[in-house]
Structure 1
Amino acid sequence: MHLTFLLTVPTFFLPCIASTANHYLTLTAVTSDASSHAVLECWRFLTPFSSYPTTGISLPLANTSNTTYVVLPPRSAEGLHKPPHPMLFVLLSGLAHVTFPFNDQELWIQGGTEGGLIVANDVEGIGHFTEYPSEEESVALQLPFRDGIVLDHEVVGKGACSRNIQKYESERPGSGGEKQEVLRALSSG
């Protein structure tokens, strides 16, 4: 069974915008560099959001199979690990701290917030460290991309993204008009 997950955003979270502007999802990705070392990158997916039938906007995120609901104990750590397949990782509650063996980058993920959704794609090399330092359980969803194929995207920066939904004036990222000024985001987080 394959499932398609949609990200739906109510319109009251979005700024007043011109209808010609497109919204694209940007996510922090834990990925592998040319040396197979885990690093952080900011990815922008190339498919724009569309209008949701009732209110808000939506985006098909992934055809997935083998979605896993994970409960991690308080003050626990996974140690050095890597995902078995490229996947979306959604921290529903709790707190995660991701660090890397070959650089000083770090990523804090607060469950239940805009930044709680990331891409785990460091399937090469030895991976990354994750600890769950909160006093409560951390709950997550692991959503592997079908056949290990990540949605079309472009790297927009080294390190973590500052926001997950951005508005761009061009028709789509990478199609010219590189000015692409970020006008507003989902939350000021």
Structure 2
Amino acid sequence: MCSGSHRRELSVLTTRDTISSFECWSLTPSNALSTAPGLSGAMSLTHEMGHFANVTYQVGYPRSGADHQTHVPHFSMYLSGHAEIIVPNGDKAIINSGGNRVILVLDTMETSSTGHFVEYPSHEETVCMNIPTKDGQIPEHRVLYDGPCTMDTVDFTRRGLAELD
């Protein structure tokens, strides 16, 4: 059971005029605090994220990088390591142990002529799981602003959640 609702910002790779770009979104329905035994106070995602039959497990090798274009909209969930995702206008999302580790990737080959560049600049492997959205659908959302979400907008400490009430 979950009670109360809170917004969570999510960096999204999208396409504007056939060029890959970032937007910061708030998904709807939003996260909620769990009241389930053993999970009380934990954030719970109440949006169905996608098909789990098509999950891919990806390893980014240290000090490497590559251009990317995706076939289907998906959530990229970074499990370990460090990645920097860069779009043509120079905006960059940095994913590391201290940051938001989920990106929604929508700049498909059908919509983006450019794609994005992913770099793994650290000395360790970066592990990511890619989970396609259900039926290729884009989740309900509200665009907060252009560009990737900043660390300041993602505060899920108890203090940060209390400020949202």
Pairwise TM-score range, normalised by the shorter structure = 0.7 to 0.9
Tell me if the contact between 2:69 and 2:107 (Cα under 8 Å) persists in the aligned partners. Answer: yes
**Which runs of at least 4 in structure 1 moved beyond 3 Å after TM superposition?**
none
Q: Answer yes or no: is the 8 Å Cα contact 1:99–1:129 preserved in 2.
A: yes
Q: Secondary structure at the match of 2:7?
A: strand
Q: How many percent of aligned residue pairs carry the same amino acid?
A: 30
Q: Which residue of 1 aligns with 2:144?
A: 156
Q: Is the 8 A contact 1:23 1:165 kept in 2?
A: no
Q: Offset of 1:71 from its aligned partner?
A: 1.4
Provide the TM-score with structure 2 as the length reference.
0.79
Counterpart of 2:12 in structure 1 is 29
Tell me what 1:95 maps to.
Answer: 82
Q: 1:135 to 1:122 in 2, by over 3 A?
A: same
1:51–1:116 CA distance, 2 compared to 1 (3 A): closer
Q: Aligned with 1:147: secondary structure? A: helix
- Looking at structure 2, the residues matched to 47 and 114 of structure 1 have their Cα atoms a distance apart, in angstroms, of 22
Unaligned stretches of 5+ residues in structure 2? none
User: What's the secondary structure of 2:46's corresponding residue?
Assistant: strand
Structure 1: where are the runs of 5+ without partners? 1-7, 9-18, 167-182
In the TM superposition, residue 22 of structure 1 has moved relative to its aligned partner by 3.0
Secondary structure at the counterpart of residue 14 of structure 2: strand
Which residue is 1:5 aligned to? none
Residues 30, 113 of structure 1: CA spacing in aligned structure 2 closer, same or farther, 3 A cutoff? same
Q: Is the 8 A contact 2:13 2:20 kept in 1?
A: yes
Count of matched residue positions in the alignment of Structure 1 and Structure 2: 148
2:5–2:33 Cα contact (<8 Å) kept: no
The answer to whether the aligner puts 1:82 opposite 2:69 as a matched pair is: yes
Q: Which amino acid aligns with 1:148?
A: G
TM-score between the two structures when normalised by the length of structure 1: 0.70
